[in-house]
Amino acid sequence: MSKVKKIGLLTGGGDCPGLNAVIRAVVKSAIKNFQMEVVGVLDGYEGLVFPGKTMMLGYEEVRGILPKGGTILGSSNRANPFAMQIERQGKTVSEDRSAEAVKRMKELGIEALIIVGGDGTLKIAKELKDKYGVKVVGVPKTIDNDLSATEVTFGFETAVNTATEAVDKLHSTAESHHRVMLVEVMGRDAGWIALHCGMAGGADAILIPEIPYDIEKLGKKIERREKYGSKFSIVVVAEGAKPVGGKESVIDHPDQPWQLPRLGGAAQRVADQISRLTKKECRVTVLGHIQRGGTPSPFDRNLGTRFGVAAVNLAGEGGFGRMVCLRGRGIESVTLEEAVGRQKLVDPKGEMVMAARAIGIDFCSAPDA
């Protein structure tokens, strides 16, 4: 059994529905079952580097937060203690402040960290463990659902619900004006949100990163629908979708090697080409951060709660260097090495893609010819 009596809790990376459920579960189970104190670390890893960015968490602080989106601790997808952005003489420079972060943990009496985040956040957690021996427990979080060690991440279902509702609403206006409606959704290199909301929303075509598209095939799909009386089409486009032999659309390149490019413009690129090919009027809706916001679904609240309790149990039992995960219907754990080792992507020949093809949804690739 671990003798840890004071843990730190931080949420890193992009926010997503269900984070507050995790925070609430960690605090309540840590106090009730292990008599631990919980220190909330604010704004991701920034709270470990800069002074004054922590808060004690008790029952009062987590009361009423279960149905709220976002995170009461704040987050950051650019804060990396090994490459922190610091202003020096009017210039932004990158500095390794990881030793200071570990020192501040000790000053605050934090004996272990529960770190909630996606691949990037958990890679930093692993580095803190490997370099300094920091006791860490990971909780998987991303709306992209691309962490291979867990069957699903909390926040994903809520994001899919939001995107599906948007697709549903666009059907009526697309049909009224005989337009091609393109909906761009998040997911980066993984097409899970696009695939799930496209199927649930009855899209006519789904473009995902794992299946490069042929724009002419999409144009022919739209023309065939027109020929047989369907004068409108709905196309769901993942932000990381790319044409055969091409690259994804990037609107902002990172200043640091550890930062990811900012994706955007994938649906507009498709719309411009389709408009020229078919002479159809095209409209683009980019859902963007709407998918990150809002009240988490019951599933995401429950999964976040289960993850939070499991993370505290690991800390209480000395199971550090691991991440909680969903396997089958139960909560298990894997090493951080396994957690960040491989990205989970859509299988182009998987059952769900085959089911979509079977009901006439096109991915506009060579197999669709």
d(CA 307, CA 330): 10
Active-site residue, 146 included = no
d(CA 251, CA 134): 37
Q: Where are the beta strands (DSSP E) in 147-293?
A: 180-185, 205-207, 233-238, 250-252, 262-263, 282-286
SS3 (DSSP) at 208:
strand
d(CA 206, CA 169): 17
Work out the number of other CB atoms within 10 angstroms of the CB of residue 187.
Answer: 30
Which neighbouring-strand residues pair with 92? 87
Residue 325 tokens read as 């995960």
**Which residues contact residue 167 at a Cβ distance below 8 angstroms, ignoring those fewer than 6 apart?**
183, 197, 198, 200, 201, 202, 203, 234, 236
Residue 239 tokens read as 């932000």
d(CA 217, CA 223): 10
Tokens 């009855």, located at residue: 202
Catalytic residue among 144, 146, 189, 300: 144
**β-pairing, 322-327 with 330-335?**
antiparallel
Tell me 292's DSSP state: G
d(CA 41, CA 56): 9
Which residue from 135, 133, 98, 97 is spatially nearest to 113, judged by alpha carbons?
135
Return the CA Rg of the chain.
22
Known catalytic residues?
A: 144
